Amino acid sequence: MSELEFTPTPEQYAWTFGGVAPIHEVDPGTVLRLWCDDAFGGRIRAVTDLASAVLDPRFLNPQTGPFAVRGAEPGDTLALHLVDLTPARDWGASTLVPFFGGLTGTDRTALLDDPLPELTWIYELDRARNTVTFSARRSDFSVDLPVAPMLGTVGVAPAAREVRSSLTPDAFGGNMDTPEMRAGVTCYLPVNEPGAIFSVGDGHYRQGEGESCGTAVEGAMAVTLIVDLVKADTAPAPAWPRIESDDELITVGSSRPLEDAWRIGQKEMISWLSALHGLDRLDAYELLTQISLAPLANVVDTNYSAVTKVAKAFLPRAEAYGGLHADLRARAASL
């Protein structure tokens, strides 16, 4: 496997999906070793750093990339296997931002309530114990939490030359903020433009489902991933992002209202089960009703994201995308 190591300089970050020329072109099968900054671009380092003072809303969620994949054409499926996610700093940050979050008035849920006060929390990383420490700001309380690294943003260029903010999740992936985007999974995304034009970023050292206040334990991340490609004549591209782990099939829908995001994920899982097992869609609907889990990904972004998960243990053995996930796991083990 060929390898590319890339650490972007600040002027090389992408701030959108689509509309940015690729920084590198890679072949399918390439291993990428990347450095990704946090959603704040490293500008929040202490509890005295407030979002309104140090952040420019035009420059949030810096993306590492984009990368073009040689031979990728619209209708193909991009496969990104996350081999390793390792915190790249010894601290992470989380904030309360005025009029942003799941339990405050926002620009779209317009209320007469005053904004929540700005606060910043810094989580110190203990690498030996693999924990981050929550220290309350207004109470005498602290607790060590297990590190659970994930990527908030994984996405390709949208269709029809559309350009979308790196804060947005949609059918192209993007800022889905699901804890399922962790090491050991394979993410499948539809190729909409020649080269796929994908980027990754928004490292989280851990995040609860829903990302309630709008920010996780945001931290820079060292990312190792393998890029691969499924051609359209082998299998049709998914309409929405799919994730495969050793034990589960996962779909992600993003929309507003939240129930529409859930509906997208459920419908996509029905399509996946139908293709894998030859099920009529109504039989797949009935089966899904009995075996699916539906955790939230985010309820704070420009679109909300909802996940549908099905355990492989409930299903007869079937190889999604010709067993590509297992093949990528084997390749990852050799690194």
Q: Tens digits of per-residue pLDDT, 216-243?
A: 999 999 999 999 999 999 999 999 999 9
Q: Place 255 in a pLDDT band, splitting at 50, 70 and 90.
A: very high
> How does pLDDT run across 9-35, given as a tens digit for each residue?
999 999 999 999 999 999 999 999 999
Can you read off the two tokens belonging to residue 329? Answer: 């796991």
Residue 83's pLDDT is: 98
Element (H, E) at 222: strand 221-230
Q: Place 1 in a pLDDT band, splitting at 50, 70 and 90.
A: confident
Half-sphere exposure of 315 (CA within 13 A, CB side): 25
Burial of 187-212, coded b for 16+ CB within 10 Å and e otherwise, reads bbbbbbbebbbbbbbbbbbbbebbbb
Q: How many C-beta atoms surround the C-beta of residue 42 within 10 A?
A: 15
Please report, for the chain, how many H helices and E strands are present, in that order.
Answer: 4, 21
Contact 225, 83 (CB under 8 A): yes
Provide the whole-model pTM: 0.97
Residue 21's pLDDT is: 97
Q: How many C-beta atoms surround the C-beta of residue 2 within 10 A?
A: 9
Q: Place 168 in a pLDDT band, splitting at 50, 70 and 90.
A: very high
Contact 224, 190 (CB under 8 A): no
Q: How many C-beta atoms surround the C-beta of residue 74 within 10 A?
A: 13
pLDDT at 201 over 90: yes
Do the strands 24-26 and 63-69 form a parallel or antiparallel pair, or are they unpaired?
parallel
- Percent of the chain exceeding pLDDT 70 equals 100
Residue 107's pLDDT is: 83
